[in-house]
Homo-oligomer: A and B are copies of this chain.
Amino acid sequence: MTTEMASGQTSMIGLDDERLARASLTYLAEPSDQRLGVLTETYGAAPVLAGIRTGTLPGPPAPPGPARDAERKSLERWQSRLGELPTQEGLERLCRDGIRLVCPGDAEWPARLDDLGAARPYALWLRGRADLRFSCLRSMSIVGSRAASAYGSYMACELAAGVAGQGWTVVSGAAYGVDGAAHSSALNAEGTTVAVLACGVDMPYPAGHKDLLDAIASHGVVASEWPPGRNPTRLRFLVRNRVIAALSPGTLVVEAGERSGALNTARYARDLGRTLMAVPGPVTSGQSRGCHTIIRDWGGTLVTSAGEAVEDVSRISDQPGETPVTPETGPVLPRDQLDPESATVLDALPVRGGLGTTDVAVKAGLPPADVLRLLGGLAAGGFAERCERGWRIRRT
């Protein structure tokens, strides 16, 4: 698989053994399995997959007793799913449906996920036109209650629009309530947005967000650790949350009741050393209780505007394994690493004044829809910025 697959132009036939093995592991094991993570990082995915097939995992066996029993149970669980592995035909069909696989080390792999250590995803399944790593360079995770109040939905929209308007990608979980409001609002602001699901990227879940998920795929990325076809479960939502927290340098909780899953995401963000932020609300609203806990007890900062959120996230000096977020000082990637289409769009932008999307498209000789997507990536990468009169090159 090559990076061109991001544009859906290549097939999955090119998967080498290691990448095919990582794809297989997403079918056999639940993500964040520490034992499997350590094995894969130590011996590689292909030997581990072979070990699952033969019943003998690489490396020294656990000492007899409870540890070996647990090892045996894991192995049996993984083996029980061998029948679910897709055929070559099945993989090709996924590819035709616009679904691609990204593995650690790929150009599109977001290096921030490596902060998860042995719990980093075996691989990610993606659907959508944007480049995941590129989109997440300047991103903010905006999450919150499914049972959002009118206030929570309003704040999610306001903040996501503001964050997207500053060229930042909005990462969220595509749930009803705050998540959905954040994604929609980022899209309305012509920003890039990334949805991280707890089910296959082909699954319309939640059902009422089918159109939203398609819109996200058209302008951003839908991502999942689970292979296509998998249903979400309560546990999967919680496991998924660590990816939402890891993908961005900062997580902003808009509304969260005391038992909200958003608090789970917030805890991951804190434990990963990410910037943790929360929106205050009335003390009398149960939906703001989790936000107040984050600010009062978890060291989260209180955020009332997109500007403050961007300011807080930008304060991070550097992220292990990732280029520092320095929104005021230009690109976070060298220009020569841009794909040819992005470079063409960048060349079409003025230094002063501004140019509307249509004019940029004409100048670059590319379809306007593509140009809009590429501009979003260029903004996230710090190359371009929106101004009153349209788009222009970001001054460094």
Contact = CB atoms under 8 A, between A and B. Distances in A.
A149 to B, nearest CB: 10
25 contacts: A151-B282, A151-B284, A155-B283, A155-B284, A279-B283, A280-B280, A280-B282, A280-B283, A280-B288, A280-B292, A280-B295, A280-B302, A281-B281, A281-B283, A282-B282, A283-B304, A292-B302, A292-B304, A295-B295, A295-B302, A296-B302, A296-B303, A296-B304, A296-B308, A302-B302
Interface in A329-352: none
A303 to B, nearest CB: 8
A356 B189 CA distance: 64
A295 B292 CA distance: 11
A295 B288 CA distance: 16
Interface string A258-302: 000000000000000000000111111000110010011000011
A282 B301 CA distance: 16
A154 interface: yes
Contacts of A302: 280, 292, 295-296, 302
A302 B298 CA distance: 12
A282 B283 CA distance: 9
A281 B151 CA distance: 11
B282 A281 contact: yes
Q: Which of A280, A296, A305, A308: most chain B CB closer than 10 A?
A: A280
Contacts of A305: 283
Contacts of A282: 151, 280-282
Contacts of A155: 283-284
A283 B156 CA distance: 12
Contacts of A280: 280-283, 288, 292, 295, 302
A55 B132 CA distance: 80
A154 B295 contact: no
Copies in the complex: 2
A283 B304 CA distance: 6
A154 B283 CA distance: 10
Q: List 8 A-B pairs, minimum CB-CB distance, nearest first.
A: A280-B280, A283-B304, A296-B302, A295-B302, A292-B304, A282-B282, A281-B282, A292-B302
Nearest to A285: B282
A305 B283 CA distance: 8
A89 to B, nearest CB: 53
A283 B162 CA distance: 15
Interface in A298-332: 301-305, 308
Contacts of A303: 296
Q: Which of A281, A292, A302, A303: most chain B CB closer than 10 A?
A: A302
A302 B283 CA distance: 10
Interface string A4-24: 000000000000000000000
A308 B292 CA distance: 12
A275 to B, nearest CB: 13
Interface in A350-375: none
A156 B228 CA distance: 53
Contacts of A296: 301-304, 308
A393 B296 CA distance: 33
Nearest to A151: B282
Q: Which of A155, A279, A295, A304: most chain B CB closer than 10 A?
A: A304
Nearest to A292: B304
Contacts of A281: 280-283
A280 B294 CA distance: 13
A257 B360 CA distance: 45
A279 B301 CA distance: 15
Nearest to A303: B296
